[in-house]
Structure 1
Amino acid sequence: MKDVFFTDTLTGYAVGVAGTLIKTTDGGNNWNRIYCGVWDELNSVYFTDAYTGYIAGERGRILKTTDAGQHWDSLITNTTRTLYSIVFVNSNTGYAAGDSGTVIKTTNGGTTWNTLTSGTANRLLSLSFIDENNGMATGNNGTALKTTDGGATWQPLNTGTITVLNAVYMLDNNHVFICGNAGLFLRSVNGGADFTDSTLTTTNNNDIKFINADTGFVAGKNFLRTTDGGQTWTFYNLNKEVLSLSIPASNHNKVYSVGYDGSIFVSDNQGASFSSKLTNLQTYYSYIDDYVDFFFTDANTGYIACNLATDVFKTTDGGTNWYSCHGGGLPDEFIYDIYFFNIDTGYYCGFDTWNQVGIIYKTVNQGNTWINLFDSSPWGGIGLVALRSIFFINSNIGITVGNSGVIYKTIDGGQNWASITSGISNTLNKIFFATDSIGYIAGSGGKILKTTDGGDHWTPLTSGTTSDIPSIYFINKDTGFVGTNNMILKTTDGGNSWVSVLLNFTPTSIHFSGTDYGYATGGNKIIKTTDGGNTWNYMHSETANSIYRIFFTDSLTGYILGSNRTILKTVTGGMVNTNPVFLPNSYVKIYPNPSAGSITIDNNDDATIRLFDMSGKLVLTKQLYSGENQVDISLLNNGMYIAKVISPKNIRTTKIIKN
């Protein structure tokens, strides 16, 4: 964690790397993660009241909340410099400082920010103001600046050192305290006109706070406390390097500190002793916006790609449990497609909106680590457009396609990519290879391209439509399907001719588990064919959410993926019991099963149970409440039943046996 701020003795916020933001409402005993909308490193947090707060971080980011951290808006700062410190002197006037001597100021609560002239090019790491006019800034190379006119002008101060000055604290117009690297401590009693210096430790001091002219604290690899204005210090070893301190204005006995590895310490006696409240906190927050794509490498192992911040989730038990195997991409990076060539090697492609380049990441160890294939490029990407689909023919040869008709090909496993001419400028949505040499691309404007030489050359096919084609799938080199505006098109001659099947939705995903059994999804609809796509039948999807993708690992086991974090699974080829797969925040337990008399249903949400016999007839309905519920099934005939437990959030489907 990089910084901490408490608005009172109970409510506090801490920020850190990869968009980490956590909040406590019980004085630091428990912390909850909050999604703030970015994935940047967050360096500084400051609240002007119980509801209004600000966060500063990488690339000139400043975030603001007006509802105690529930929602955060990104403010326009007119700088891309990393900001390391943000402070406010009242509800309207605030300052932020960072790289290259950057200082910006707002006088309207962050609506607009004006760049001030600091007079230095050194990195500024800390700000401290006692009112609208009087403040100080410190940073690299012993830099200390003072303003007495609200930042209009800044006076350099003689600190007598070139050491990095990590933090400054102005107690009043006279008392100024500064700490820095190599154990440096500076003290002034005349507003910075001159300083006395001392070396407290041999390690870096990261933050400093004083509650009066005598009592103060310095945090670093050691925690230090003085009660005589810094002449003598008491040392405490917290076993973690502390980066920031916070002392609530309402209670100076409380001292909060945060540091590396998510460490958080709380003192109730002005730093005389500390208790550890949280250690080893993961410094990322796996925010799940919408699932956009998934891929299974075998019956148990699958991956879900999210459309924000390059999150990837993985299951190793057939979808029962999912965990984050990749998060920490930037908030401006979006995934469009994920593909695994084998159980170990996978890729995803997308777009970096900040640098306006396509991105491709690769794993060679089953998703445990992912590398950006373009880290060595100036912008960490390729081209100037979004990459929407990726497919690998073998371990070395792969092709990615995207906006503006771009096609890139690699022959060395993604180390290098060559541009291939498509001959069109349409968006290319999906690529699929039926053999090592024969492949197809579907795009906007009804465009379909075909290659017969492994992707080196592409020729256009006549699809008979001008509508967008978001999905494509071939079961062999000649027979394939595309989804377009309220229809499926089928070819049996390699795309030379197409036959249409009219639908009441546009298929966004098509998948076949063999030559005969296939599925298509779009909107909240699912259709299935059992005769190679000659006829299609509608199926019940168990969701009102939009469905983006469908994938079958065998003829019976399949998954659908959709909006609002929807994951549904079937183990019967989509018949009878298409059941949701839940993340661990929801549960339903039904026992005993089998049962002759009654069953207990233990769930964590109010819900309704509906019991169907195997012909699909509804035989029982009962309202359930959070906790344990008794349901009498003694009057039912012996046999198997399908139970659906329906809550506002989820639907759980399972089998119950009455004996």
Structure 2
Amino acid sequence: MKTTFIIVLLLNCLSLCDFIIAQQEDTTKTKPVQIRRGIPLQQGYRSYDDYYYSGKDMFEEKRSHFPLSGTGIWTELNPQVPRVDYRAVHFVNKDTGVTVGKNGAIIRTTNGGGKWLNVITPYNITFRGIEGQSEGRIIAVGDSGTIILSDDFGKTWKAIESGTNHDLYNLQMINDDLGWLVGDKSMLLKTTDGGFNWVQQFTQLTVYPFFDVSFLDSLFGYIAVDVGQILRTTDGGLNWDLSQVRDQYSFNVIKAVTRKTAVALGFAGKQAYTSDGGETWQFITYLGSTFRDIAFLDTLKGFAVGFSGSFDTTDGGFTWNLRLDIKNAGGITFPSPDIGYLVGDELILDKTTNSGQNWFRKIINDDFTDVFFTDENNGWFIGYAWYQNNLYQTTDGGVTLKQRTDFPGDRPSSVYFLDSLTGFVGANEKIFKTNDGGISWQEKNIFGIDSLLFAGEFIRLFFISDSIGWALNYKYVIKTTDGGENWNSQLNVSGLTGIHFSDSFNGWITPGVKPFKTTNGGKTWIEQTNFPENSMYDVFFNDSLNSFISKSNELYQTLDGGINWTLVSNVTNFSYGRFSNRKQNGIFLAGGPRTYRSEDAGANWEEVIELRDQFVEYVRLLDINNGCAVGRRGLILRLADSVVYVSGDNSPAPEEFQIYQNYPNPFNNSTFISFNLPEKAKIKITIYDSLGRLVKGLIDKEFESGFHTVNFIADDLASGIYLYKIEGGGFNEVKKMVLLK
């Protein structure tokens, strides 16, 4: 009965979403987007709501960005938090903090960012501001008048009535009881009971958005207003005076540094400064960034972060210096003079331990484009983040990655290993080889390439044997016949993206126009003008006759060596499409919102539903049931048909044994069971049915102190209620979980 009710409720919700979407007005998608909300739409622009929400199922939008729960086959190893843009961050001390962002994302850490935990919420809105107090209370605000409050450092949240449906942009708590928040349509709310109740205050403005608020004490504060205005109060918000600074470019952030000095920053980097307590404001310059947040360590040193540039100041905000190492940030905070945290677009979660001199990532958020495993534990990844290519190595199956900053090449872009010791990395106009498992890398000889053509990175590596292989960059196909020691140019053609050989003689490449084919190992290449389309992306061979070519959202097959091609009609919506390496007739086609798999050499294809909208870029197989998929914003997924351990996050050991409720719950096929150990202990996890009968033993092994997670895969179990018992270290506990298939 309960299951039927849940299904009916979900169907009703989905129907309501369909109705709302159906009512939205069609808009020309080529129009520029007006990012600012709450102001009249400028002629010729497309609204933010239409751009971000129109035509989207927001339940599906949220699911596609949030951590992939174990499916029984695929397990997300990285990043294990929502892959969204983060907008605000607050730390109650140097180790414990919460950050919020798009799609209702809330994540928390208790060990200084060493491990971030996803907090499940029912919200799909963007959270834009967050503030905390002592005793563990944290308040977050966002779109549509949303206010939520946590009294346990962000573990659980409850909704607070705001009295408005206008977007809320930011807030500030002066002490445990007193605070203000601001939002769209000149919305100003005040609390005197720690955030449980909010009362609207009024100013002389009624239309323009209030983007930020900064109080120095219970009486004196400022509000940053759209159209280039600043409000000031000296009596706790009862009365406000208004200043217009230069033009109508908005002020997005404001900070009362001292009783006399304050700084306001906004659209296009508009900067204003006061040295007389807000009596007068001086326009300084346009810094060129659209700012999102501002934080000061003391009365002199501070940071302002934004969409297209971030800055620091050492004179209280009068002059600002561009920081090239901080890009597309959304929020910044300093819980102590030396420790700071920075969040932003595309899963930016950074930390400083030296007062902002240097920032380092706490979560790897590269767009991964290539991966190669030599066995189940040892592998290599190619990532791209902020105009920089990175090479990573793992020795534990992808659970942890080490960036190989000692790699000698520029912009590593592809990786391929012949065995556990011998491997290659394609870099900018160079090929590097290792003979010691990646400990050292040596540049190899390439002949016949004109360096003046700037052909770029070698993006594909393909070997048919230990001695014979090919590589390609944007303009050249090169070949080796001596195990990668020497490479010779075979073809110069623009727009190369894919290469595959069925044997040492027969191969295909996909350049920008029509594919090319060789039957003599690449000595000669013949353009295949009979291929029905242009702008291909990748090619895959089963043999010299049966092959596939992908292009944007289309897959073509030939059964006669390329004389005739037919469209595979049931494979679509995958964006560009890159083929995996073939193992025992298993083929993956990935690249964008859809991923497809064939287990019979391409005779039949089916979508991998678990990976829908995960934006997988590439799948590399070890065998038919084991492999790795990589994608955007740090996505690493392991394909495995056994228990996957995700352990060891360097969390400080707790004072007592802690067991967490499995997540997700209810679950379909797979769920995560987590526990935290005060000391090293042998842990046994056993699964029982609802009558207490033994179903299976999950693990029985020794773990170090700290936080650990085990992925329980229930492929062979029927739907129902199950119990899991964790025992060890003189402690045991039983919890309930629900399997719904």
Name the structure with the higher helix share.
Answer: 2
- Which structure has the larger Rg? 1
TM-score bracket relative to the smaller structure:
0.3 to 0.5
TM-score, normalised relative to structure 1: 0.46
TM-score (norm. length: structure 2): 0.41
